[in-house]
Structure 1
Amino acid sequence: MIGPFKVAAVQAAPVFMDLDATVEKAVRLIDEAGQQGVKIIAFPETWIPGYPWWIWLDAPAMGMQHIVPYTMNSIQAGSPQDETLADAARRNDIQVIMGVSEKIGGSLYMGQWHYDSNGDVISRRRKLKPTHVERTVFGEGDGSDMVVLDTELGRVGALCCWEHLQPLNKYAMYAQNEQIHVASWPSFSLYLGAAYALGPELNTAASQMYAAEGQCFVLAACATVSKEMIDFLCDTPPKQQFLQEGGGHANIFGPDGAPLCEPMGTTVEGLQIAEIDLAAIAAAKSAADPAGHYSRPDVFRLMFNNKPAPAVVNFDDAGTTLSDEIVEVAEEQIAAAAQ
């Protein structure tokens, strides 16, 4: 096992709805982390090109004016912007987990792209189920997006926002022996005082509880809402009341749930940096390993279909069809249930 190393969670606003400028800002933050010896940096949810806050501020029809520019500023795999992020990871010898609005074909997805320290993309996961009005903008992922990856620094996984409130999501990740988890959040400055479930207390607690339940380190990246974003989005008094400037609550939590950083202030931009040692996980696991010695598989089991679910399935060289895949999955699930 490797010794202690530094990790970082980003607390900053994007250059809203500007793909190139936000990528440039991301590179500056990656370079800053690299200069401080950080080995993993985590970015907030859909940080490129920014979270589409208008979906919470007005009727869906009123937000259609933003869809075209938002789509045009969403990032595509293999694009020059993608290559720029990969180069930043490679140049700084750092793993980067970037929150993106991913454009593929005519659809958008809430993605987390994981670049390793060589600049290679080892995962382009998508949020399994966009939350509430997010579904007016984004498509959903599938079971193959619930992945924990072996890296030179340990086993790393990631989820977005309220994926951390889905118990089965979490258990699927815990069961893959996750050691470092990236929790990407958009900002906690929406409906303040009116919707506790969207606020900083509960959602910071979700990151903290994830660390304690899974006995892993959690890098909770959380964006801020800039004044420029407020000026752009909030053109009426009700909207100005609904969405506030700031909302940054980034932190890092240990496998016992302890916060490893002091709060930065809700409008402050920067990096939350902590030194972690994976050896601390062993002590936490000895007390409670939810998918190991602290489980009861004779009472509870999770059925987890981790296969991709493409919209179009072609005949392959062996003649496999979609119906064959459905039968195979069903047979596996029946066999598992019978054990």
Structure 2
Amino acid sequence: AYLGGYPRTCSFGSAVGSRNDVGREQFLHYFRDAVDLGDTPAGAGDDWIQRNLPVAAGKNYRGDGTREVLEEIARESGVFVVVGVVEKSGGSLYCAVVYVEPARGVIGKRRKVMPTGSERLIWAQGSPSTLRAVTTTLNTVPVTLAAAICWENYMPLLRQALYAQNVCIYLAPTADARDSWLPLMRTVACEGRAFVLSANQCVRRGELPSWISGVFSTNERVEVEVDGDDGDEERKRSVTAEGQGHGAHHGHAVGNPADFVSPGGSCIVSPAGHVLAGPIWEVSTDDTPDPGADEATGDGLIVSEVDTADCERGRLDLDVAGSYSRSDAFKLSVAGLDLDPPPL
């Protein structure tokens, strides 16, 4: 999540059967860093999108104004914005994706339905009804977009729910920087006959917030330390679903501040499964441009000009939501979600 952040390496002071005070303070920091878009805990759907929910006396909008800022950015730049956020609503946090059109503002938002591993401690489950695709026009071309967040891409039925909506731009924001991620993205692109855009943050250990990396202030100063026995160092370095071999040390980030805790790996893949751009590794927006790089120039940006007609060309021999689906034999339904393609 770009806004609110991904709390990489932080265990929030938790183990099976126990939570500690330091972890609760860390969660307080994380909760306060999250954005408030003015939606309800259950998700108000179209009523939220269309601003039909009640507004507090003396205010012109719900939430903390993040939605309005995103809409202003899209409007002034003329860019269709898709951004990952950690969203707070009531007393819970949700990992979400927001779609913002220059002319209409926010046209959709979805929440991650299945947090992975220790994410389940800090993020609530979103409603599957929010998996609805959105439509817009990009450079005069009508397109249908949808997003599957991180390891939701390992959920075949969720992927099929997006394919069924005739998505041509499939978004896959992730926290997974393993070598196995790119083959998955190529499979999704080929399977769905869609362009796949996957973005992962590039983060150095020294860029982690202070409430993760060591010392932070509450009513008094608290130093975050590793607890547990001194043995079994291999266990402490075990690979988890959120990172790439960087174990969770009860909130304490140890090691060289220049080390990457997430090396990136953003990529763009064609409907035929060909890699069009990326993956880019260890390229941060704060880096000095590398004139020798094949992809990006130190700004962490990958670009590809695409022809969405390639999606239809690919469906000559494979349409997993239509001619290749055997819908007479296999049935899929998702609670609260219309699987018919949205009108363009």
What TM-score do the two structures reach when normalised by structure 2?
0.68
Report the CA distance between 1:87 and its aligned residue. 1.0
Q: Does 1:75 align with 2:60?
A: no
Query: SS state of the match for residue 265, structure 2?
Result: coil
CA distance in 2, matches of 1:279, 1:241: 41
Q: Does 1:101 align with 2:86?
A: yes
Residue equivalent to 1:50: 5
Report the CA distance between 1:204 and its aligned residue. 2.2
**Residues 52 and 119 (structure 1 numbering): CA distance in 2 closer, same or farther, change over 3 Å?**
farther
Residue equivalent to 1:297: 327
> Please, which runs of 5 or more residues in structure 1 have no aligned partner?
1-45, 189-198, 309-339
* Alignment deviations for residues 130-183 of structure 1 (CA, whole Å, 9 cap, x no partner): 112111001111121111112113001011000000000000100000011111
Provide runs of 4+ in structure 1 moved above 6 Å: none
CA distance in 1, matches of 2:131, 2:269: 21
Q: Which amino acid aligns with 1:168?
A: L
Deviates more, 1:222-231 or 1:62-71: 222-231
Report the CA distance between 1:301 and its aligned residue. 1.3
Q: Which amino acid aligns with 2:169?
A: I
Query: SS state of the match for residue 297, structure 1?
Result: coil
Query: SS state of the match for residue 302, structure 2?
Result: strand
Which of 165, 177, 185 in structure 2 is aligned with 1:207? 185
Q: Which amino acid aligns with 1:183?
A: A
Residue equivalent to 1:64: 24
Report the CA distance between 1:214 and its aligned residue. 0.4
Report the CA distance between 1:228 and its aligned residue. 2.2
Query: SS state of the match for residue 279, structure 2?
Result: coil
Q: Which amino acid aligns with 1:249?
A: G
| Larger helix fraction of residues | 1
Residue equivalent to 2:269: 253
Residue equivalent to 1:3: none
What percentage of aligned pairs have identical amino acids? 29
Deviates more, 1:166-175 or 1:298-307: 298-307
Q: Does 1:133 align with 2:118?
A: yes
CA distance in 1, matches of 2:12, 2:247: 7
* Alignment deviations for residues 80-136 of structure 1 (CA, whole Å, 9 cap, x no partner): 233222211111111111111101111110110111122611112100111121110
CA distance in 1, matches of 2:186, 2:8: 25
Residue equivalent to 2:71: 86
Q: Is the 8 A contact 1:187 1:223 kept in 2?
A: no
Which of 267, 280, 285 in structure 1 is aligned with 2:310? 280
Which of 138, 145, 167 in structure 2 is aligned with 1:178? 167
Q: Is the 8 A contact 2:268 2:278 kept in 1?
A: no
* Alignment deviations for residues 179-217 of structure 1 (CA, whole Å, 9 cap, x no partner): 1111111252xxxxxxxxxx2x21222222111110001
Q: Is the 8 A contact 1:55 1:134 kept in 2?
A: no
Query: SS state of the match for residue 49, structure 1?
Result: coil
> Please, which runs of 5 or more residues in structure 2 have no aligned partner?
38-62, 215-225, 227-232, 238-244, 249-258, 286-299, 339-344
Residue equivalent to 2:206: 228
* Alignment deviations for residues 221-245 of structure 1 (CA, whole Å, 9 cap, x no partner): 1111223245844566957953761
CA distance in 2, matches of 1:55, 1:146: 28
Deviates more, 1:291-300 or 1:231-240: 231-240
CA distance in 2, matches of 1:241, 1:156: 33
Equivalenced residue count is: 252
Residue equivalent to 1:217: 195
Q: Does 1:306 align with 2:261?
A: no
Q: Is the 8 A contact 2:129 2:334 kept in 1?
A: no
Q: Is the 8 A contact 2:112 2:149 kept in 1?
A: yes
Report the CA distance between 1:284 and its aligned residue. 0.7
CA distance in 2, matches of 1:241, 1:282: 41
Report the CA distance between 1:64 and its aligned residue. 2.5
